[in-house]
Amino acid sequence: MIHASTTAITRPRSLDEALAALEKSPGAVLLAGGTDLMVAWNAGERHLPERVVDLWSVPELATIGVAGDALHVGALATHSRIVGSPEVRAHAPALAEASRTVGAAQIQNRGTIGGNIANASPAGDTLPVLLAMDATIVVASRARGERPVPADAFWTAYRRTALAPEELIVRVEIARDRPQVLFRKVGTRRAQAIAKVSMALSLRRSAGGAVEDARIAWGSVAPTPVRARRAEDALRGKPLDAASIGAACAALPQDISPIDDIRSTREYRLHVAMAILRRALSGWVG
C-alpha cells in the first residue's frame, strides 16, 4: 500500500461549489457515504488519493421527489432514505427493496445510490433494478451542465463508468409509468451478504397477454451489471408460456458470463440465473 503523503479534502456546501471543485481538480476522488472507499483504503486495496471531494454536505444532491412524470432520486440519497421514502415506495418499490438488501443498517445509513452507481461493482444491489427500470443517470459538469446517461450505457467495463473526470452524478430519474420490477437477490446468507446472483425483471404485456417488452437485468454474472437482451428478445411478441419461457432461459447463457470467485462458481451462477428466471416468469403466467 502506497499512501499519498497528504490527502487534500474539499468539502463543498452546494452543487455549484462541488462542480467548481471538480473542474479545478478533474479526476479527484468523489466521496459520498464512504462505505466502499473507506474499506478499500483501510484494507490497502486502493491508494489514498491526493485529492478528495467530499460530497456529503451538498444538499441539492440529497433530495428525493417526483418531478413531472419521473421520480428523481438524488445521488446522495442514502439507502435508508430510499427504503423510507413514500415516493420511492409508490413509484419504484423494487428500488427500495434492493436498497434494503445493501449491507447492514449502518451501511444503509451512510451508503448512497450515487455511490452504488459510481462504485460500479457488478454486485451493486441497486444496479440491476435501475437497468430494469430504464433509469436515467443524470451527470453534470461545470462546463457542460447536465447530461443524461441511460443506465444501460453507464457501466462500460469492469468497474468502469461513462462518468468523465470532471463530472459527478446528480440524480437518478425513473419514469413513473414503468411496469413494476421484480427483484431477486441470491446471497450466501439472509442478510449482509454480497450477491452471488441478482436479478431485476419487468414485463409489459398486451391486453391479449403477449409480452410487448421485457427487461431482464442481472448482477454478479458479468463484469458489469447487464441486461439479458437475447432472453428479452426471446420473450418479445410471444405469449408467456412454457415455450417462450424455455426459449428465454435457453438464451440466457449467451447474455451472461459468470465466473468462479470467492463467493461462488460459474456453474452455480448459471444454474441459479436460469432457475430464478424460469421461476419468476412462470409466476407471471396466468
Of 136 and 198, which has the nearer Cβ to other proteins?
198
Phi, psi of 275 (to 5 degrees): -65, -40
Residue 192 C-beta: closest distance to other proteins, Å: 6
Task: Provide the b/e sequence for 100-114 (b: ≥16 CB within 10 Å).
Answer: bbbbeeebbebbbbb
* DSSP character at residue 28: P
Q: At what angle do helices 266-284 and 242-255 cross, to 10 degrees?
A: 150
Among 70, 98, 131, 186, binds other proteins (CB under 8 A): 186
Cβ neighbours of residue 3 closer than 8 Å, sequence gap 6 or more: 47, 48
Q: Answer yes or no whether residue 265 interacts with other proteins by CB under 8 A.
A: yes
Under rule CB under 8 A, residue 262 binds other proteins: yes
Is 263 near other proteins (CB under 8 A)? yes
Residue choice 38, 191, 250, 285 for contact with other proteins (CB under 8 A) = 191
Residue 221 in the binding site for other proteins (CB under 8 A): no
Q: Per CB under 8 A, which region of 21-29, 83-91, 204-212, 267-275 contacts other proteins?
A: 267-275
Residue (24 or 279) nearer to other proteins, CB: 279
CA angle 258, 227, 218 (to 5 degrees): 50
Of the pair 40, 66, the CB lying nearest other proteins is at 40
- Of 105-164, binders to other proteins (CB under 8 A) are none
Q: Which residue's CB is nearer to other proteins, number 22 or number 281?
A: 281
What DSSP state is assigned to residue 107? H
CB-neighbour burial class of residue 13 (10 A; exposed 0-12, middle 13-18, buried 19+): exposed
List 192, 206, 254, 257, residue binding other proteins (CB under 8 A):
192
Q: Do the strands 70-74 and 168-175 form a parallel or antiparallel pair, or are they unpaired?
A: antiparallel
By CB under 8 A, tell whether 194 contacts other proteins.
yes
| CA–CA separation, 85 and 89 (whole Å) | 6
Torsion 54-57-58-64 (CA) sign: positive
Does position 188 bind other proteins by CB under 8 A?
Answer: yes
Q: Does 193 bind other proteins (CB under 8 A)?
A: yes
In a 3-state reduction of DSSP, which class is residue 3? coil
Report if residue 275 touches other proteins, rule: CB under 8 A: yes
Smallest CA-to-CA distance from 92 within 77, 105, 107 is with 77
Print the binding letters for residues 8-47 with other proteins: x by CB under 8 A, - otherwise. Answer: -----------------------------------x----
Binding site residues, other proteins, CB under 8 A: 1-2, 43, 186, 188-194, 262-265, 267-268, 271-272, 275-276, 278-279, 282
